[in-house]
Structure 1
């Protein structure tokens, strides 16, 4: 009995440590590969707890291996946008300008009833009130309402407004995203000029640069967390 108690405590602490090292995320925010690893770790820990005939190291070694694998994959995702897309996928725009993208809905195996339920849970009852509804890689739905209908409504105040757009990443980890530059009809010379205006000599010094929802150029450098 005492042996079972000790084994349970050791494995419990190991699982807690593993979950802690995976980062501060709720279950619903885990990426697919993170969720798979979390489930596998819990299964591997339960087997030696239930059967004392299984050496405890047969549970410890696979758990540590999965933890190391998850750490390596997380680091790769930080460095490579392509690997992040392969491992975690990309956000999908299900609603744009009040219209459902039927092909994207089918691609994500997301039916209309589920979509409408998610929108209602977030307080939106009419599709025409929504500018974007985005299915994130975690499976959560993000909703961007039309600007004139957002809280405190500018239409009530009779103010002229411009529609917010999706933020577009231009530089990540010191690398230019050429495809996104094409989306905003800009080239590398333009982004170099923007960096020059902000006294940044090298693209490699930039951790993140994007065009925000208001059309403004935002950047953050590696050194001293400089940002604007």
Structure 2
């Protein structure tokens, strides 16, 4: 039964490390703010994955709690700094994040934009079905967001003339 559990395995140390790492992550994410683990940008996603990897490394390898905690704090602090720089400097925001891009304009599928972004038509159709679109005439717009998510703006019915606030598409690229 040595392959299941070895008496030399540091199970108690691992349990204590779990608690300590959780406390550290909670404290740091409270300091950095609600967007600590959001997926608002591509680097937010990368930081979230990196922090998860660091936590696993701390818990399962010889990396010290102090070293791992500094790395986690550093990554989350960099996220906070990046966020502040993006808000302060428009140029910096343009360099760091991609603009969202239109995949459908009304019921018209923008094949060139799909191809440029590497999205297969089947994936677009799946997103439309997920959004309960029953007819392409119900679509106002489909946007590939900076996070990689696809947003579907649609009408309740094909013949609906609901008002549409163009501000929703203000920074969305129309063509590649």
Question: TM-score with structure 1 length normalisation?
Answer: 0.60
Would you say 1:32 and 2:34 are equivalent positions?
no
What is the CA distance between 1:87 and its match in structure 2? 2.0
Q: Secondary structure at the match of 1:131?
A: strand
Q: 1:126 to 1:65 in 2, by over 3 A?
A: same
Given the alignment, which residue of 133, 136, 140 partners 1:124? 133
Would you say 1:23 and 2:34 are equivalent positions?
yes
Structure 1: 4+ residue segments shifted above 6 A: none
Structure having the higher strand fraction is 1
**In 2, distance between residues paired with 1:44 and 1:125?**
44
Residue number in structure 1 paired with 2:7: none
What is the CA distance between 1:165 and its match in structure 2? 5.2
Q: Secondary structure at the match of 1:43?
A: helix
Given the alignment, which residue of 147, 150, 170 partners 1:141? 150
Would you say 1:113 and 2:122 are equivalent positions?
yes
**Aligned Cα RMSD in Å?**
3.0
What is the CA distance between 1:118 and its match in structure 2? 0.3
Q: Does structure 2 conserve the Cα–Cα contact (< 8 Å) formed by 1:95 and 1:134?
A: yes
Structure having the higher helix fraction is 2
Residue number in structure 1 paired with 2:98: 89
Question: What does residue range 59-98 of structure 1 map to in structure 2 within 5 Å?
Answer: 59-98=68-107
Unpaired runs of 5+ residues, structure 1, are 171-176, 178-228
Residue number in structure 2 paired with 1:50: 60
**In 2, distance between residues paired with 1:143 and 1:77?**
26
Q: Secondary structure at the match of 1:134?
A: strand
**In 2, distance between residues paired with 1:12 and 1:133?**
38
The structure showing larger relative contact order (alpha-carbon pairs under 8 Å, at least 6 residues apart) is: 2
**In 1, distance between residues paired with 2:13 and 2:162?**
67
Given the alignment, which residue of 6, 22, 25 partners 1:12? 22
Q: 1:60 to 1:154 in 2, by over 3 A?
A: closer
Unpaired runs of 5+ residues, structure 2, are 1-9, 172-176
Question: What does residue range 145-164 of structure 1 map to in structure 2 within 5 Å?
Answer: 145=154, 150-151=155-156, 155=159, 164=164
